[in-house]
């Protein structure tokens, strides 16, 4: 089947490939597939890590998958984001993350954002020794489910550096930006 170019807001397929593996390991992929429409089911089955997909697809897949992976838990999409961070950053990166500071990881955030997102810019500002503020700008329609997964991803990435009691709070009062404030011990 021919792949159509993705227009509009795009999202790298790497997280969706990780999601597929999580669903298969948890033995809930069939239930997940039943919840999708034909187009989303087809796209989900064909996506590769290097594909660009519509960000709306990622939002719908996260919304359908998270409650199956984390039944009865509060904030299942955030938990999914944490798991995605562990999946993406494990292995050799886990060892490296233990040696670097949280600030170093966060300083790489803008570059990583551009690698995995086809829209917006993520700006990082140190507020305190153990507090940073990240502002996602120029992306007023960033889907809630993907934003929630990013909250979990930020927390998971910080935890992999050895930080404890990580807390990430969002503020979307400004329609042109979403602010993520992360603090840790």
Cβ contact 121:138 at 8 Å? yes
Task: Indicate yes or no: pTM above 0.75.
Answer: yes
Say what the pLDDT of residue 98 is. 64
Is the backbone of residue 134 left (phi > 0), alpha (psi -120 to 50) or beta?
A: beta
Q: What superfamily in CATH does domain 86-183 come from?
A: Trafficking protein particle complex subunit 3 (3.30.1380.20)
Q: For the chain, how big is the Rg over CA atoms in Å?
A: 16
Q: Give the model's confidence band at 2: pLDDT under 50 very low, under 70 low, under 90 confident, else very high.
A: very low
Does 139 have pLDDT greater than 80?
Answer: yes
Contact assessment for residue 84 and residue 156, using Cβ atoms and an 8 Å cutoff = yes
Indicate the domain borders of the chain.
10-74, 86-183
pLDDT of 5 higher than 80: no
Burial class (CB in 10 A: 0-12, 13-18, 19+), 148: buried
Mean pLDDT, range 158-168, rounded to an integer: 91
Mean pLDDT score, 16-37: 98
């Amino acid at each position: 089947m021919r792949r159509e170019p993705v227009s509009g807001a795009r999202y790298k397929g790497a997280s969706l490939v990780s999601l597929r593996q999580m669903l298969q390991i948890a033995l809930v992929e069939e239930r997940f597939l039943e919840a999708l429409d034909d187009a989303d089911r087809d796209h989900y089955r064909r996506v590769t890590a290097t594909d660009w997909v519509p960000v709306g697809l990622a939002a719908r897949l996260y919304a359908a998958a998270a409650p199956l992976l984390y039944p009865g838990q509060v904030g299942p999409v955030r938990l999914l984001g944490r798991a995605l961070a562990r999946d993406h950053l494990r292995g050799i990166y886990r060892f490296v993350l233990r040696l670097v500071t949280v600030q170093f990881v966060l300083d790489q955030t803008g570059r990583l954002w551009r690698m995995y997102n086809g829209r917006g810019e993520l700006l990082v500002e140190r507020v305190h020794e153990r507090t940073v503020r990240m502002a996602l700008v120029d992306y007023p329609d960033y889907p809630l489910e993907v934003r929630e997964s990013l909250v979990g991803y930020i927390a998971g990435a910080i935890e992999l550096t050895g930080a404890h009691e990580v807390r990430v709070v969002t503020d979307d009062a400004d329609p042109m930006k979403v602010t993520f404030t992360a603090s840790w011990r």
